[in-house]
């Protein structure tokens, strides 16, 4: 007679199939960040061509993208808890790729704003479904590593957006303005959007090579006997009853994401305005820092947490968030106040490494205390919160300080320092409280 444990073991795909899926999802995640981030290298030419302020540019990078990315994240996550996750991801990739290319034909702020919203619509489909797929493809003790590899796509995408983006910018700039049938005159920054957007359509079809894994750890005792039938209201009530962990944990991670997006959005302009670097120089040096040290931090965080877990630390994944903020407070406060650009790059490498420590395992921590059928929804709430607060307000907070407090574009460095110090300190306090609540929730979940 076959035992329940035997059935559970059989539910996992083979390691080869599971890691193939993770690698493909990581590539898709990388392209999602490439498409959403490429605009940071184009801020200065867009500003010159369209006559935009720093605040308007921050809205294009942050709020325009985050609006539907956050609003649609929860209903799409709900679909991912019930429907075919592979198909959801495939359509999302196709939509964001097309909308990135459409950014390249925008002629004014309004058109570019709408196109950026469209990019957010497509990208909202990826992470809730991807994290759910990964969670159902690996045993609990291997999920942190798998999710860390997937989350590397964040920094790989940003890094490639900077490095390859600089190459593309240099190439299209050498060609100059291009005249295309129907579209008319296309400037260098517009051609860059088109060049990075269209290849994503080829990747969308590769999701057909991924098999949908069986859903596991349904947690019926936690949310009712038939979790397929639990209503959204009941699901929200379930999370609300555990707000002391989920909401506070989301708040802590929102602080990290807010600072990360603010740093990503304004670092190229910071180097250009403070050190008189060109966009190509920024893409070459800063891009390499992001490409190397961001993924290294994510991998090291996953490895470190796994080592703690193997030694019996039941709160290792959540503990990594506290470690991150404790190490981040001082460098985040002083990063942009240095006078030597290469010393700044060294400190930037440290900040990227430390910021990456919890990114791959934050979702793994949530999944440890969340039933299977609510995991994608948990990620949806998580992505909604961190992106509404982090992406929606991070870049704009820096811009508002620069435009309305200092009233001088050259004071950008001080705006970035204020945001870095404040978010790191608040995040540390929130993560300490969330860690205590996580231990309590895990004890309840494992009963």
Strand residue runs (E) in 296-445: none
Looking at the predicted structure, is the pLDDT value of residue 37 above 50? yes
pLDDT of res. 435: 93
Q: How confident is the model at residue 221 (pLDDT cuts 50, 70, 90)?
A: very low
What mean pLDDT is predicted for residues 125-131? 89
Mean confidence (pLDDT) of the chain: 86
Mean pLDDT is highest, among 10-19, 80-89, 193-202, 426-435, for: 426-435
pLDDT of res. 442: 82
pLDDT of res. 245: 92
Q: Is the dihedral angle over the CA atoms 18, 22, 23, 27 positive or is it negative?
A: positive
Task: Quick: pLDDT tens for 162-184.
Answer: 887 777 767 766 766 777 777 77
> First-to-last CA distance in the chain?
26
Full 3-state SS string of 253-308? HHHHHHHHHHHHHHHHHHHHHHHCCCHHHHHHHHHHHHHHHHHHHHHHHHHHHHHH
Q: How confident is the model at residue 8 (pLDDT cuts 50, 70, 90)?
A: very low
CB 244 within 8 A of CB 439: no
Task: Quick: pLDDT tens for 64-108.
Answer: 998 888 888 788 888 887 888 999 999 999 999 999 999 999 989
CA neighbours closer than 13 Å in the CB half-sphere of residue 162:
24
pLDDT of res. 219: 52
What share of the chain has pLDDT > 70, as a percent? 92
**Residue 48 carries which DSSP code?**
H
Residue 194 in tokens: 């088109």
Q: How confident is the model at residue 227 (pLDDT cuts 50, 70, 90)?
A: very low
Looking at the predicted structure, is the pLDDT value of residue 445 above 80? no
pLDDT of res. 376: 76
What mean pLDDT is predicted for residues 288-311? 88
Q: What are phi and psi of 161, to 5 degrees?
A: -60, -40
pLDDT of res. 350: 96
Looking at the predicted structure, is the pLDDT value of residue 414 above 90? yes
pTM assigned to the model = 0.77
Dmax of the chain from CA atoms?
75
What mean pLDDT is predicted for residues 381-392? 87
Looking at the predicted structure, is the pLDDT value of residue 1 above 60? no
User: From the DSSP assignment, how many helices (H) and strands (E) are in the chain?
Assistant: 22, 2
pLDDT of res. 223: 46
| Stretch among 82-86, 236-240, 307-311, 382-386 having the lowest mean pLDDT | 307-311
* Cβ contacts of 439 within 8 Å, gap of 6 or more: 314, 315
Q: How confident is the model at residue 160 (pLDDT cuts 50, 70, 90)?
A: confident
pLDDT of res. 232: 76
Percentage helix, strand, coil, to 5, in the chain? 80, 0, 15
pLDDT of res. 358: 93
CB 329 within 8 A of CB 424: yes
Q: Domains of the chain (ranges plus CATH)?
A: 13-199+231-445 (1.20.1250.20)
């Amino acid at each position: 007679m076959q035992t329940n444990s035997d059935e559970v073991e059989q539910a996992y795909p083979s390691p080869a199939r599971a890691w193939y899926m993770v690698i493909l999802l990581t590539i898709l995640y990388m392209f999602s960040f490439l498409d959403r981030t490429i605009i940071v290298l184009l801020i200065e030419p867009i500003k010159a061509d369209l006559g935009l302020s720093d605040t308007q540019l921050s809205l294009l990078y942050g709020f325009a993208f985050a609006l539907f990315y956050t609003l649609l994240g929860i209903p799409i996550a709900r679909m991912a808890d019930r429907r075919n996750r592979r198909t959801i991801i495939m359509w999302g990739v196709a939509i964001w790729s097309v909308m990135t290319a459409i950014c390249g034909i925008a002629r004014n702020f309004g058109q570019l704003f709408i196109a950026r919203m469209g990019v957010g619509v497509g990208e909202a489909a990826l992470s809730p479904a991807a994290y759910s797929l990964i969670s159902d493809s690996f045993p609990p003790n291997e999920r942190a590593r798998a999710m860390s590899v997937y989350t590397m796509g964040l920094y790989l995408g940003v890094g490639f957006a900077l490095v390859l983006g600089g190459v593309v910018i240099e190439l299209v700039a050498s060609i100059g303005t291009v005249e295309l049938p129907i579209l008319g005159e296309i400037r260098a920054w517009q051609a860059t959007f088109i060049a990075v957007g269209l290849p994503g359509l080829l990747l969308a079809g590769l999701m057909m090579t991924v098999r949908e894994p069986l859903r596991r750890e349904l947690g019926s005792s936690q949310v009712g006997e038939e979790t397929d039938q639990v209503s959204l209201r009941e699901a929200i009530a379930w999370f609300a009853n555990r707000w002391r962990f989920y909401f506070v944990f989301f708040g802590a991670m929102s602080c990290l994401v807010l600072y990360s997006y603010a740093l990503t959005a304004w670092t190229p302009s910071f180097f250009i305005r403070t050190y008189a670097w060109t966009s190509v120089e920024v893409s070459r040096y800063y891009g390499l820092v992001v490409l190397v040290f961001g993924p290294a931090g994510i991998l090291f965080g996953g490895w470190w947490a796994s080592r703690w877990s193997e030694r019996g630390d039941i709160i290792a994944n959540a503990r990594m968030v506290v470690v991150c903020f404790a190490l981040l407070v001082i460098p985040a406060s002083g990063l942009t106040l240095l006078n030597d650009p290469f010393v700044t790059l060294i400190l930037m490498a440290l900040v990227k490494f430390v910021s990456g420590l919890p990114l791959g395992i934050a979702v793994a921590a949530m999944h440890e205390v969340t039933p299977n059928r609510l995991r994608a929804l948990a990620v949806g709430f998580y992505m909604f919160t961190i992106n509404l607060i982090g992406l929606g307000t991070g870049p704009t907070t820096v811009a508002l300080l620069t435009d309305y407090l200092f009233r001088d574009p050259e004071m950008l460095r001080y705006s970035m320092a204020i945001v870095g110090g404040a978010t790191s300190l608040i995040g540390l306090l929130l993560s300490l409280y969330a860690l205590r609540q996580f231990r309590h929730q895990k004890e309840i979940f494992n009963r």
